[in-house]
A and B are shown apart, each in its own frame.
Chain A
Amino acid sequence: MLEGKFDEASLLKKIVDAIKDSVKLCNFNCTEHGLTVQAVDDSRVLLVSLLVGQSAFSEYRCDRDITLGIDLESFSKILRCGNNEDFLTLLAEDKPDNVMTIFEDKKKERVSEYSLKLMDIDSEFLNIDDMEYDSVITMPSPEFAKIVKDLKNLSESLNVVVTKDSVKFSSEGENGSGSVILKSYSDMDRPEESININLENPVDLTFGLKYLNDIIKATSLASSITIKLADKTPALFEYKLDAGGYLRFYLAPKFDEED
């Protein structure tokens, strides 16, 4: 039996909206520690890894490990039925055919429930070890989103070059080119506005802006994003959930054909 209650429906809404464009179908694995998702997009370039910790729920109970195969587009439609401030409860039996989503208004006496049929989804669970990265950048998530949106207008690829204490995002297309350079910056009053660049080795990587554009849909989940880069390995884009947990994207960099 799974019973997980969110204090506000908006959290799950944001999570599903953040990943539904990257992944259409995915398994929500429910354990006593919380919800986890690991899924790869159709082109197998972007890997999504989600953890919604037990602390993110105001009430949580999961007697046995349960896998919920969910069509995210349908689930998103259901989540839109509730108001952002509503309590949201997920209910599922031990061997469920469907998952129940219950919205409860905090002020009014209104309770609504929606049942979503579950699917059998074959998914390969990948073993993601903790890797050592050449550089780690922490910056405000809206700032990163703006850079991606702006440079997406110019090209399909974004080049990220990290050198000592600065990171350069640039894209070059047929109509022009553009670049944004950020340097370390600390704001004591608003630490989430700070930009922190840790560099072990210089990095020069290129990513598909199409995928980065999917990644930045998680911007509303966290005020800052951590980008971990290493040569010829997938970059990690991490949004930490304030309530407990994370949403991580692993994106494979582009290589020159010569390589």
Chain B
Amino acid sequence: MDESVKEIEYISGQLKVGEIVTYQDISHQFGATYKKSKVILYNFYKSNKSNFVGQFIINGVIEGSTVIKFIESEKLIEEAVEKFDKIDEIYCYSVTPKTEFSLKDFAIHNQKNVINTDNLNYYHKLGLIKGPELVPVTSFKTSKLTVAEPTKTSTTTKEVSTKPKKEKTIGLMSNYVSRKQKPADTAGSKRAADPPKYQYKSRKLENKKPEKVVVSNDLEADEFDEFDDMEVDTPAPSVPAPKTKLSDIFNDDDDDEEDITEGQKEENTKIQESEQEEAIPEPEAETKEASVEPQVEPEPEAESETQEPQEPQYDEEGYLITYNTKKPKSKPKPKPRTTTETKTEIKQPVKSAVKVTKDKKSKQPSVMSFFGKKK
């Protein structure tokens, strides 16, 4: 009885602190066998049912297989027992205070009372289940055994090694799981929302077009001369060239040639006479001014010459025209010279530009000097 008093004092002391008390604790503490400590624990629980909760373990058979089931309180034993086909043993595993304990708590508690494996015989005496003695397996012994055994081991190792390979090939390394369906719908809705933006584009284009039309009409109405460059192809019959006071008469003659082909032969002769008179003083006076204007005009002339290389000799009084066709060929040559003059003018600022760039030697500082470092 003295021993049982000590044990009861130990149990109640542990429970007061809020600890779990298992039969193993009692056994290890007092050197009592497991069987005896189970009885002591159960007796304690029976007399203090109202204050503490008892946990039980049922060993038995369910559907042909042995099962060890942990029951958290006495109330649940009846339900659990019904599931068993055969019951070998029911015993009190532990007693706890009334506060809730999870299985984790029991596992943690067991960690505190680990069996000392160096002194297994002591625990065997207490009632620790003793398994068959381990026999050291040497390679010789396996070779002495039947051939089937090593082949089994080899096959099992093969299975182990092949399984992970299959997993690698089948699945993704990242174990990524697709969640495609939901986002696909949102993407669809986004796409549906896009089209209106394109509609705005079309509106803007419509606005732009009429503006351009208005501008172009104004220009045509105001000045034809400035439009010569723009409309080289279409307004050819309008013959703006005579008005532009070209440095030579020859341009007009070329235009006349075109007119002649259209059948205005009588008018041409009058124009030629009048223009010859006017044209003679002009070249000398206007060559200075022409340095600006001819830059624009020589091109269409050159084109007209290339287009009509043949000398037309249709006119009744067209002797002058044959002379004129020769002259324009020589005339275009000096005109590019005027452009070369302008080129030389452009070169001058280039030199100054170079000077400017040389003068402006700039430094490229680092960004780091502007920002403070964090750390």
Contacts and interface: CB of A to CB of B under 8 A. Distances in A.
Interface of A: 5, 7-8, 40, 43-47, 58-59, 87, 89, 91, 100, 102, 104, 106, 111, 113, 115, 124-128, 155, 157, 172-177, 187, 189-190, 206, 208, 233-234, 250-257, 259
A173 B357 contact: yes
B359 to A, nearest CB: 9
A244 to B, nearest CB: 14
B372 A126 contact: yes
Given A111-B172, A172-B357, A174-B353, A106 B368 contact: no
Contact of B172 (A113, A125, A175): A113
A177 B364 contact: no
A126 B370 CA distance: 10
Given A7-B186, A174-B353, A190-B200, A102 B373 contact: no
B212 interface: no
A233 B370 contact: yes
B180 interface: yes
B367 A252 contact: yes
B368 A189 contact: no
Contacts of B366: 43-45, 252
Contacts of B104: none
A5 B184 CA distance: 13
Given A7-B187, A250-B367, A254-B362, 10 more contacts: A7-B190, A44-B368, A91-B176, A111-B172, A111-B176, A124-B374, A173-B357, A234-B371, A254-B365, A255-B362
B371 A7 contact: no
B101 to A, nearest CB: 30
Contacts of B370: 233-234, 250, 252
Interface in B349-369: 350, 353-354, 356-357, 360-369
Across the A-B interface, the 4 shortest Cβ-Cβ residue pairs = A254-B362, A126-B371, A44-B366, A100-B174
Contacts of B163: none
Interface string B149-175: 000000000000000000000001110
A208 B367 CA distance: 13
Contacts of A206: 362
Given A125-B375, A256-B362, A40 B174 contact: no
Main secondary structure of the interface of B (DSSP, over half): mixed
Given A174-B353, A254-B364, A47 B371 contact: yes
A217 B165 CA distance: 43
A253 B366 CA distance: 9
A155 B367 CA distance: 22
B204 interface: yes
B367 A40 contact: yes
Contacts of B350: 174-176
A174 B353 CA distance: 7
A145 B369 CA distance: 27
Contacts of A124: 368, 373-375
Contacts of B204: 187, 189-190
Given A47-B371, A254-B364, A102 B183 contact: no
Nearest to B368: A44
B179 interface: yes
A204 to B, nearest CB: 12
Given A102-B176, A174-B353, A176-B353, A257 B361 contact: yes
Contacts of A173: 353, 357
Contact of B374 (A125, A172, A175, A189): A125
Interface in B284-323: none
Contacts of B179: 59
A72 B196 CA distance: 36
Contacts of A44: 366-368
A45 B186 CA distance: 41
Given A126-B374, A250-B367, A87 B180 contact: yes
Contacts of A256: 360-363
Contact of B353 (A40, A177, A254): A177
B186 A189 contact: no
Contacts of A233: 370
19 contacts: A44-B367, A45-B365, A58-B186, A59-B183, A89-B176, A91-B176, A100-B174, A100-B176, A111-B172, A124-B368, A124-B375, A127-B374, A174-B354, A206-B362, A234-B371, A250-B371, A257-B361, A257-B362, A259-B363
B362 A113 contact: no
Contact of A127 (B183, B354, B372): B372
A100 B200 contact: no
A128 B365 contact: no
B368 A254 contact: no
